[in-house]
Chain A
Amino acid sequence: MRDLPELTPDERGRYEWQLSVRDFGEEGQRRLKNATVLVSRIGGVGGSAAMQLAAAGIGRLILVHAGNVRLNDLNRQLLMTTDWIGKPRVESAVRRLHELNPHVEIETVAENVNDSNVADLVSRCDVVVSAAPLFSERLLMNREAVRQQKPLVDSAMYELEGRLTTIIADQTPCLSCLYPEPPPNWKREFPVFAAVASTVGSLAAMEVIKLIAGVGEPLASRMLTFDLRDMTFRTVPIARQPDCPVCGA
């Protein structure tokens, strides 16, 4: 507790309604303030996770996403604004997040995760939110997070369905345990409502808050799957693969 940053009076006022959360309190808030979260892609899922984390008072966010805002981002990428079409996505995100919470320090990287930046990015964070629309990026992020022993929340969606699991090196299955080969027929453009993407992103943010503040039980060795078409949610136990090339012994 002594090593954690103090809360300012303004922060104490801002977070007043969450300081009474059981097992969270002022220490939890100071843990959040002390933490850095890396968000890989700030589209529908990652953008909503970033928004929730900013609201909760994460100290520092590293937002990783290439490209400029496009018209057809706006049905789901809630950090993007109409007046920012044609301009960098990460700039729109910083503006939106700072409108909500100016206390959050935000670093932006206007490229996607790749072989040359992933090690450095992961080394500078405490927890990863993985929300890229490509398996290659997710598997790369998984490999690096496992290597550097950083918890990773993998959050994914398709149409009205979502899936979430928290990966902790040496304890839980990793993404390569689940997907030992790149899936043969994943299409980059997937059907999506913001309401679904934001649900997954919000759940991912809750996992991150729990991990950092030490509240509740993380979604470790379990996968949450849900289908908003009929509002069914289920949690399935998942197992490590002993010969996994990423996390296998």
Chain B
Amino acid sequence: MKLRVQYTAQLRAVVGRAEEVVELSEGGNLAELLNLLADSHSTARPHLVTEVGQVRPSLLIVVNDSAVSAREAAKTVLYSDDIVTLLPPIAGG
């Protein structure tokens, strides 16, 4: 199935684009998606997952219109055409 992934802030800078369409296997979850993205964008990996492949706790994730915390990522099943927005923490003042 195809999903839309949107990158913001520093993630957009390291990935080099604001948005992409990603192929994820049917029934895949949010944690799997983030590991897939970390594999395909190695410079973005530290923003997305920890050294042991867990979703980075400080990453804000919005699936369609709902925020999903990192700990819920493995339980969050994704569906075709979902829009996943990734918001790394920012503190510019």
Contacts and interface: CB of A to CB of B under 8 A. Distances in A.
Interface in A38-95: 41, 43-46
Given A237-B66, A239-B69, A241-B69, A183 B89 contact: yes
Given A181-B58, A184-B46, A225-B8, A138 B67 contact: no
A49 to B, nearest CB: 10
A225 B89 contact: no
Band of interface residues on A: 35 or more
A157 B90 contact: yes
B9 to A, nearest CB: 4
B34 interface: no
Contacts of A135: 89, 91
Interface string B52-72: 000011101010011101000
* B58, B66, B88: most-surrounded residue (chain A CB, <10 A): B58
Interface stretch (A15-23, A100-108, A126-134, A212-220): A126-134
A159 interface: yes
A27 interface: no
A137 to B, nearest CB: 8
Given A178-B58, A185-B47, A223-B60, 15 more contacts: A132-B93, A135-B89, A135-B91, A157-B90, A158-B10, A161-B90, A179-B89, A183-B89, A184-B47, A184-B56, A185-B10, A190-B91, A192-B92, A236-B65, A239-B69
Interface of A: 41, 43-46, 131-135, 138, 155-159, 161, 163, 178-186, 190, 192, 197, 223, 225, 227, 236-239, 241
Interface of B: 8-10, 13, 46-47, 56-58, 60, 62, 65-67, 69, 87-93
7 contacts: A45-B93, A158-B10, A158-B90, A181-B57, A190-B92, A223-B67, A236-B66
